[in-house]
Amino acid sequence: MSQTLHTVAVIGGGTMGAGIVEVAASAGHAVRLYDISAEAITRAIDGIAERLNARVSRGKISTEQAQALLARITPATELTQLADAQLVIEAASERLEIKKALFSELAEICPPSTLLTSNTSSISITAIAAGIKHPERVAGLHFFNPAPVMKLVEVVSGLATSTEVVEQLCQCVTAWGKQPVRCRSTPGFIVNRVARPYYAEAWRALEEQVASAEVIDAALRDGGGFPMGPLALTDLIGQDVNFAVTSSVFNAFWQDRRFLPSLLQQELALAGRLGKKNGHGVYRWPLENQPELALDAVSAERAAKRVKSDVVTELDDVLLLETTGETALSLSVQHQRPVVVYDHAAGDTVVLAGAPTNPDSATDKAVYYFQQQGKKVLRIADYPGLLVWRTVAMLANEALDAVQKGVASAEDIDTAMRLGVNYPRGPLAWGQSLGWGRVLRLLENLQQHYGEERYRPSALLRQKALMEMRDE
Q: What is the pLDDT of residues 267-300, one digit of tens each?
A: 999 999 999 999 999 999 998 654 443 443 334 4
Instruction: Give me the CATH code for the 190-278 domain, please.
Output: 1.10.1040.50
Q: Closest Cα to residue 217, out of 204, 202, 235?
A: 202
**Distance between CA 92 and CA 64 in Å, rounded?**
31
Q: Are 223 and 351 in contact (CB under 8 A)?
A: yes
Quote the DSSP letter at residue 275.
B
State the pLDDT at residue 4.
78
State the pLDDT at residue 293.
38
Q: Which residues are catalytic?
A: 121, 142, 154, 192
The residue type of 173 is V
Quote the DSSP letter at residue 345.
-
Which of 41-50, 163-172, 189-198, 359-368 is least confident? Answer: 359-368
Q: Are 377 and 352 in contact (CB under 8 A)?
A: yes
pLDDT of 441 higher than 70: yes
Q: pLDDT tier at 219 (50, 70, 90 boundaries)?
A: very high
The yes or no reply on domain 7-184 and CATH 3.40.50.720 is yes
State the pLDDT at residue 331.
97
Q: Are 8 and 1 in contact (CB under 8 A)?
A: no
How do the domains of the chain map onto residue ranges?
7-184, 190-278, 305-379
Q: Closest Cα to residue 317, out of 259, 358, 352?
A: 358
The residue type of 420 is G
Percent pLDDT > 90 in the chain is 90
Q: Is the dihedral of CA 459, 255, 258, 400 positive or negative?
A: positive
Instruction: State pLDDT tens for residues 306-352.
Output: 435 567 889 999 999 999 999 999 999 999 999 999 999 988 899 99
- The mean pLDDT of the chain is 93
DSSP secondary structure string for all residues of 194-262: HTHHHHHHHHHHHHTTSS-HHHHHHIIIIIT--SS-HHHHHHHH-HHHHHHHHHHHHHHTTS-GGGPPP
User: CA–CA distance from 114 to each of 5, 9, 102 (Å)?
Assistant: 9, 10, 14
pLDDT of 374 higher than 80: yes
Candidate ranges 121-125, 295-299, 422-426; pick with highest mean pLDDT: 422-426
Instruction: State pLDDT tens for residues 251-276.
Output: 999 999 999 999 999 999 999 999 99
Instruction: Give me the CATH code for the 305-379 domain, please.
Output: 3.30.750.190
Q: Closest Cα to residue 433, out of 387, 389, 470?
A: 389
User: CA–CA distance from 240 to each of 235, 243, 349, 437 (Å)?
Assistant: 9, 5, 31, 37
